[in-house]
Amino acid sequence: MKITGYGLREAIKFHKLRSDEAASSFDSTLKVFSGDTKEAPQAVVERYLAAEAAVARLQTAQAEYNLIVKVTVDGVTTTLSEAIKRIGGLGRAEKMWRSAASPKKDRYSTFEDTRDPTREHAKSTITATEAAALASKVAKTAGRFRAAIATANTVDVDIDLDPALFE
């Protein structure tokens, strides 16, 4: 069947919700007062396992999808899977440069830029302006990756899946 990355993501969220619901209702099925009617624990576990199996199948299809679909960022073509994995590092690098551009000063800590007894002062290896420019550069690259990922998730790919997983 033809499916998009967004369709897979939404189906996974739906089945995870079903799994969580079954798991959270399990304990209440273990005891019953006379006259009460409750779902059997076995039925709850069956619903849970069915939802978990659906999630596993959909996540496998998602991995397949992410390896099939290609994205091009800055002239380099790669799989959607690799692009998704690179976003985390880009975000962390951007955060590093942003923190270098405007470091937080803690009034209770000792400053590491002075040595006693000579009172030698440490010098910055990069200016705040340079760090801000580098943060902006990394942010723009991350933005191009995010845009490519968003576009790639709209591509229809034919993957062998049971249509019932999307109902």
Average pLDDT taken over every residue of the chain: 92
Which of the four pLDDT bands, split at 50, 70 and 90, describes residue 138?
very high
Average pLDDT over residues 91-108: 84
Give residue 111's pLDDT: 55
Average confidence (pLDDT) over 118-134: 85
Closest CA to 133 of 100, 87, 105: 100
Distance of CA 59 to the CA centre of its chain: 13
Exposed, middle or buried by CB within 10 Å (0-12, 13-18, 19+), for 65? buried
| Closest C-alpha to 26, from 44, 6, 1 | 44
User: Residue 152: how many CA atoms within 13 Å on its side-chain side?
Assistant: 24
Q: Domain boundaries in the chain?
A: 2-105+117-166
Q: How confident is the model at residue 120 (pLDDT cuts 50, 70, 90)?
A: confident
The stretch 15-40 carries a mean pLDDT of: 95
pLDDT band at 18 (very low <50, low <70, confident <90, very high): very high
> Whole-model pTM above 0.85?
no
Distance CA 89, CA 9 (A): 22
SS3 115: strand
